Amino acid sequence: MLEKGKINSLQAILLMISMILPTAVLSVPAITVKSARQDAWLSIIVATVVGLLIAWLVVTLSLRFPGKTLFEYVEEILGKIPGKIVSFFYIWWFLHMNALVIREYGVFLATAIMPDTPISVFHIVVVVVAAYAVRNGLEVLSRANQLLIPTTVLLATVFILSTGNMKLSRMLPVIDTGLLPIIKGAAAPASWLGEIVTFAMIIPYLNRPREAHRVAALSVLLVSFFLTASILEALLIFGPNLTGAWIFPVFNAVRLISVDNSLGRLEIIIVLAWVLGGFFKVGVFYYAAVLGSAQWLELKDYRPLVLPVGIILVALSILIHEGIVDLFDFLARVWPPYALIVFEAGIPLVLLLVALVRGKGGRKNA
Amino acid sequence: MEKFRKPTRTGVPGGIFARDYNDSLKNLVLSQDLEANLQQIKAILDKCSDVIYREFVFAQNEEIRLALIYIEGLADPGQISDQIIRALSLEVPMAVPGQEITKARALEFIKQRGLCIHQLKETYKLQDIIHAILSGDTVLLVDGHAVALVNGARGWEARPLSDSETEPTVRGPRESFAETLRVNTALIRRKIKSPNLKIEALRLGEVSDTDVALVYIEGIVNEKLVTEVKSRLEKINIDAILESGYIEELIEDNPWSLFPTVNHTGKPDRLAAMLLEGRVAILVDGTPVALTVPNLFVEYLQAPEDYYQRFLFASAVRLIRFASMIISLMLPSLYIAVLSFHHELLPTPLLLGMAARREVVPFPVFFEVLITEIAFEVLREAGNHLPRPIGQGISIGAALVLGVVAVQAGFIAASTVIVVVFAGIASLVFANSAGMAFRLLRFALMVLSGTLGLVGMISGAAFIAIHMCTLRSFGVPYLSPLAPIASTDLADVVSRAPWWAMLSRPRLMTGQNQQRQGRGLKPTSPEKTSKGRR
């Protein structure tokens, strides 16, 4: 096997949270509030249901092929050539998504704290740190994540400190514009929660694969919880109009905090949590892309691919969009249907159906 | 360019000279002729002016000639003259009046009744005899017998046991290890009077022939660990082991890492506690510290005292140590990052005050901090190597004078001195080999935050964290029980759990027998228990 490490269920949950949450907290609130307005929290509930369904789908599919990753069982289900084609698309998807994440990372750091630094510097830094973790394998990636994830607790503290600026009345009226905007608003968070598909690359390395269903569901629920909290953080402070107008509303909401005129400028905590989270978000997709490519090319070791994939990621993340407006327009309008319909729900559903029809995998193999 | 080759532990090209010498000795044995034996030994120990040859005759039968060989300074002259020479050349006849002792019976008699030495061994191999002499034993040769008697009458000038200077404690035993291996093993044996405490002997170093002891508690230790440690020690092929540091570098898992993955302690009580948690200790003759493996990073945040003091206070102290670790690593770089990139993070009055005072300083913050840091390290290093009273005086004087004058002259800002000195003192909270790693990494982080601000600093810190996650010490993850989290062991890491709650030994370390103590040890007041019964 390419990966010899094993991780436990807690590490898997934390890794999944780090994989989804960092960009979700920053980008999703604005996108969702723009269409669902003050009912954005209802959109998250819809998205959570979708996320849970995708999680169930992926885990059910993966558990039919114990010990195999997505890239290995695709070939078993569809046959060698079609399988290679489908898994090639997944490699592309991991790279594409990761390039977007890296770009968001660079854009955020450049706009928020270091406007004079070229974004490619941030891209290189995040990819180098992630590459170091990826090269050392899944165990190290998840252990380091476990070590650093407590910074998220700081985020919760910051949210609590900002309650002074909140007004509950900004959530009213409920379901004012009808159901359609709510469902439209759910598309973006659902596509983020649907990133749980990547879990298919990690299930074989769980030390208790039986708990995979629980791990996936808990990860989705915890992420939704934090996502709801951050949407409310922005919504209750700014109301739907301002929240929708900003690119990083949560960041701006935290900027307003000032306790006794001395404890202020807490947005640095968001930066801290985001920079650290970014390493692991990029790291997981990076790992999935590298491991997947190695399996696609049928290599014995994935480590030689770490450097080339890293270079591709840095280059792709710079080339992929012209600017920040372009990027966020893509994230709000193109990304959700593209990711959700094709990679997160579509292909796994087809794979499961084909596997059922052709009788591949399942208990008889286990 | 020649490709860089990793030094291998075995197979030194050409062999070490001492090995050939040992091989030539290997097959030699004693003969029955005393003169011939002495000649042979004298030939081997040629030009060794510290070797003493003392020939004398047996009291009752002057035909029986005897010879003593020992090294002056290593053997105890009092014991030799009283218990060996006097006993054999004067007193024997009084003990057995009228009994004839022939040449043939001489050896048996001397062994059974003649010598008043507590430790006696027999050997006929020349190699063992030479080793015994060089280790400080006294060898007795009897004419007409091809056997030597090795008397354990060692006694050399050694430093007496003293208070531990490197790991001082307020409460708890003060004794610390000395340089003599036997003294050190005795100190451990005094703490753990169990037949399961095993002390295995090894000899390492082809020329120095150093005694090394492997100490562990059978039944607690993981058997695989002992085998692994032994196999790593046996691979060592070096001319000399002068300090345990040699062994540490030759057996560690991550030779290139800044972080030490072999711990050491000079305190018998701490070593006993470590053995009881399932670690293996390596004691080296001539070294007043013992190596312990596997080593976890959290060991550097624990002190033996924690376990003797009240647990709530000890837990609070641990938090302070943890905070000092972060401060010593990150404070200077945070200062650089904030002052050169993120002014907005400071409250306005503070920022204005600092800016006003920094106005006269001619350097960028990064250089200012770097220079001050280097000055601090220089003072610290100078203080380490001067005689203690002078060292303290000089470092305090220099620090005060240099600091005050440099600030007054406007070379550095007062706030820089505060930050650097605070971080420096914080790093003293765990002044040991892990502290050294952090001292160096602090400079790396300073460079990163000088170039990329907070992003650089956080990236550097994440890199360090990931690096520490890759480390293992004899198979145990270095950061356990923090990452991977072992919830039962965490109670003794972030806090110091009370003794009645520390039910198990560290899980990743011990293979078997994890239960440390019985349940229900939490003391309750007698009234409460009697009420409960009623």
Contact residues, A window 42-101, toward B, CB-based 8 Å cutoff:
none
Asked if A129's CB is within 8 angstroms of B484's CB, the reply is no
For residue A10, the chain B residues in CB contact (below 8 A) are 485
Whether pLDDT at B427 is above 90: no
In CATH, what number does A9-358 get? Answer: 1.20.1740.10
Mean pLDDT taken over chain A: 88
Nearest CA in chain A to B482: A147
Whether pLDDT at B246 is above 50: yes
Asked if B347's CB is within 8 angstroms of A275's CB, the reply is no
pLDDT score for A36: 84
Give residue B174's pLDDT band: very low, low, confident or very high (50, 70, 90).
confident
Assess if residue B172 is contained within a domain.
no
Same domain, B290 and B193: yes
Q: Does B374 lie at the interface with A, CB-CB under 8 angstroms?
A: no
Using DSSP, state whether A120 is helix, strand or coil: helix
B141 bridge partner residues: B67, B148
Nearest CA in chain A to B465: A144
pLDDT-above-90 percentage for chain A? 43
Whether pLDDT at B19 is above 70: no
Range A177-181, long-range pairs (CB < 8 A, 24+ positions)? A177/A37, A177/A39, A181/A35, A181/A36, A181/A37, A181/A39
The least confident of A327-336, B187-196, B505-514 is: B505-514
For residue A279, the chain B residues in CB contact (below 8 A) are 459, 462
Return the DSSP state at B112: I
pLDDT score for B366: 92
Same domain, B146 and B217: no
Nearest CA in chain A to B483: A143
Q: Does B470 lie at the interface with A, CB-CB under 8 angstroms?
A: yes
Nearest CA in chain B to A6: B484
Give residue B494's pLDDT band: very low, low, confident or very high (50, 70, 90).
confident
How many residues belong to chain A? Answer: 366
Query: Can you tell me the ipTM of this complex?
Result: 0.92
Q: Write out the DSSP string of B512-524.
A: S--B-S-S-----
For residue A261, the chain B residues in CB contact (below 8 A) are 347
Nearest CA in chain A to B349: A262
Residue A207: HSE in the Cβ half-sphere, 13 Å Cα cutoff? 9
For residue A133, the chain B residues in CB contact (below 8 A) are 466, 469
Most confident stretch, A64-68, B98-102, B239-243, B444-448: B444-448
Whether pLDDT at B215 is above 90: yes
Same domain, B117 and B25: yes
Assess if residue B483 is contained within a domain.
no
The shortest C-alpha distance from A225 to chain B (Å) reads 23
**Residue B125: how many other CB atoms lie within 10 Å:** 15
Answer for the pair A92, A231: CB distance below 8 angstroms, yes or no. no
Same domain, B189 and B46: no
Answer for the pair A321, A99: CB distance below 8 angstroms, yes or no. no
Mean pLDDT taken over chain B: 84
pLDDT score for A307: 94
CA distance A64 to A94: 23
Nearest to A144 among B347, B465, B485 (CB): B465
CA distance A43 to A34: 11
Residue with tokens 């120990």: B45
Contact residues, A window 147-186, toward B, CB-based 8 Å cutoff:
147-148
Q: Does A131 lie at the interface with B, CB-CB under 8 angstroms?
A: no
Single-letter code of the amino acid located at B40 = Q
Answer for the pair A274, A22: CB distance below 8 angstroms, yes or no. yes
B476 bridge partner residues: B473
**B391 vs B399, B421, B426, CA distance in Å?**
12, 18, 20
pLDDT score for B4: 46
Q: In this complex, how many residue pairs, one in chain A and one in chain B, have their CB atoms less than 8 Å apart? A: 81
Return the DSSP state at B7: P
Domain that holds residue B391: 311-477
Whether pLDDT at B530 is above 80: no
Preceding peptide of A337 cis, ω within 30°: no
pLDDT score for A39: 87
Angle at A180 between CA A175 and CA A181, to 5 degrees: 70
Asked if A125's CB is within 8 angstroms of B462's CB, the reply is no
Same domain, B125 and B204: no
CA distance B169 to B187: 18
CA distance A95 to A91: 6
- Strand B65-71 versus strand B120-123 pairing type: unpaired
Asked if B456's CB is within 8 angstroms of A114's CB, the reply is no
Range B106-113, long-range pairs (CB < 8 A, 24+ positions)? B106/B58, B106/B61, B106/B64, B106/B142, B106/B144, B106/B145, B107/B142, B107/B145, B107/B147, B107/B149, B110/B58, B110/B140, B110/B142, B110/B149, B111/B149
For residue B482, the chain A residues in CB contact (below 8 A) are 147
Same domain, B124 and B86: yes
For residue A266, the chain B residues in CB contact (below 8 A) are none
Average pLDDT score over residue span B81-90: 85
Return the DSSP state at B159: P
Residue, of A254 and B280, whose pLDDT is higher: B280
Tokens of A84: 């290679």
Average pLDDT score over residue span A151-157: 81
According to the 3-state scheme, what is the secondary structure of B382-395?
HHHHCCHHHHHHHH
**Residue A81: how many other CB atoms lie within 10 Å:** 9
CA distance B125 to B106: 20
pLDDT score for B284: 94
B36: Cβ contacts below 8 Å, ≥ 6 apart: none
Q: Does B2 lie at the interface with A, CB-CB under 8 angstroms?
A: no
Nearest CA in chain A to B341: A114
Whether pLDDT at B3 is above 80: no
pLDDT score for B95: 56
Task: Sheet with B148-151: list strands edge to edge.
Answer: B51-57, B65-71, B138-142, B148-151, B120-123
Asked if A143's CB is within 8 angstroms of B484's CB, the reply is yes
Nearest CA in chain B to A264: B347
Contact residues, B window 302-341, toward A, CB-based 8 Å cutoff:
341
At B433-483, the pLDDT tens digits run: 777 888 889 999 999 999 998 899 999 999 999 999 999 999 889 988 888
Q: Does A132 lie at the interface with B, CB-CB under 8 angstroms?
A: yes
A359: Cβ contacts below 8 Å, ≥ 6 apart: none
**Residue B324: how many other CB atoms lie within 10 Å:** 22
Asked if A114's CB is within 8 angstroms of B455's CB, the reply is yes
Angle at A275 between CA B365 and CA A94, to 5 degrees: 140
B397: Cβ contacts below 8 Å, ≥ 6 apart: none
**A203 vs A63, A216, A261, B443, CA distance in Å?**
8, 10, 49, 40
The shortest C-alpha distance from A184 to chain B (Å) reads 35
For residue B453, the chain A residues in CB contact (below 8 A) are 113-114
At A254-305, the pLDDT tens digits run: 888 887 776 777 888 888 888 898 999 999 999 999 999 999 998 989 999 9
Return the DSSP state at B266: S
Report chain B's terminal Cα–Cα distance, integer Å.
86
According to the 3-state scheme, what is the secondary structure of B412-426?
CCHHHHHHHHHHHHH
pLDDT score for B2: 42
Which residue blocks in B49-119 are alpha helix, DSSP H? 77-79, 92-95, 103-109
pLDDT-above-90 percentage for chain B? 25
Q: Does B259 lie at the interface with A, CB-CB under 8 angstroms?
A: no
pLDDT score for B94: 56
Give the DSSP H/E element, type plus range, for residue B353: helix B348-358
A122: Cβ contacts below 8 Å, ≥ 6 apart: A105, A106, A109, A110, B455
pLDDT score for A2: 76
Give the DSSP H/E element, type plus range, for residue B120: strand B120-123
Give residue B15's pLDDT band: very low, low, confident or very high (50, 70, 90).
very low
Nearest to B454 among A113, A126, A144 (CB): A113
Nearest to B469 among A128, A147, A272 (CB): A147
Chain centroid to Cα B372, Å, comes to 33
At B123-132, the pLDDT tens digits run: 888 888 988 9
Whether pLDDT at A50 is above 90: yes
Q: Does B465 lie at the interface with A, CB-CB under 8 angstroms?
A: yes
Nearest CA in chain B to A141: B466
Nearest to B470 among A136, A146, A268 (CB): A136
Nearest to A129 among B346, B453, B459 (CB): B459
Average pLDDT score over residue span B301-330: 89
CA distance B117 to B111: 10
At A326-339, the pLDDT tens digits run: 888 898 889 988 99
Q: Does B353 lie at the interface with A, CB-CB under 8 angstroms?
A: no
The shortest C-alpha distance from B482 to chain A (Å) reads 7
Q: Does A133 lie at the interface with B, CB-CB under 8 angstroms?
A: yes
Same domain, B132 and B205: no
Which among A257, A190, A184 has a CA at the least distance from the CA of A52? A190
pLDDT score for A365: 45
Tokens of A209: 């694969």
Range A208-211, long-range pairs (CB < 8 A, 24+ positions)? A208/A8, A208/A9, A209/A63, A209/A66, A211/A9
The least confident of B237-246, B436-445, B506-515 is: B506-515
pLDDT score for B7: 45
Which residue ranges make up each domain of chain A? 9-358
**B37 vs A9, B41, B88, B90, B140, CA distance in Å?**
72, 6, 20, 25, 11
Q: What Rg, from alpha-carbon coordinates, does chain B have?
A: 31
For residue B483, the chain A residues in CB contact (below 8 A) are 143-144, 146-147
CA distance A249 to A244: 8
Whether pLDDT at A228 is above 70: yes
Whether pLDDT at B391 is above 90: no
pLDDT score for B10: 45
Sign of the C-alpha dihedral, residues A113, A118, A121, A127?
Answer: positive
Average pLDDT score over residue span B42-67: 87
CA distance B340 to B358: 12
Please list, residue by residue across B137-167, b when 16 or more beta carbons sit within 10 angstroms of its beta carbon and e when fewer do: bbbbbbbebeebbbbbbbeeeeeebeebeeb
Same domain, B188 and B115: no
The shortest C-alpha distance from B261 to chain A (Å) reads 17
The shortest C-alpha distance from B443 to chain A (Å) reads 18
Interface test with B, best of A15, A147, A151 (most B CBs within 10 A): A147
- Strand B472-473 versus strand B476-477 pairing type: antiparallel
Q: Does A26 lie at the interface with B, CB-CB under 8 angstroms?
A: no
Q: Does A146 lie at the interface with B, CB-CB under 8 angstroms?
A: yes
CA distance B322 to B102: 75
For residue A284, the chain B residues in CB contact (below 8 A) are none
Q: Does B463 lie at the interface with A, CB-CB under 8 angstroms?
A: yes
Give residue B399's pLDDT band: very low, low, confident or very high (50, 70, 90).
confident
The shortest C-alpha distance from A249 to chain B (Å) reads 19
pLDDT score for B353: 85
pLDDT score for A199: 92
Residue with tokens 């701490």: B270
Same domain, B110 and B189: no
Same domain, B274 and B335: no
**Residue A331: how many other CB atoms lie within 10 Å:** 22
Same domain, B141 and B241: no
Same domain, B340 and B428: yes
Chain centroid to Cα B36, Å, comes to 44
Contact residues, A window 111-130, toward B, CB-based 8 Å cutoff:
113-114, 117, 121-122, 125-126, 128-129
How many residues belong to chain B? Answer: 534
**In total, how many domains does chain B have?**
3
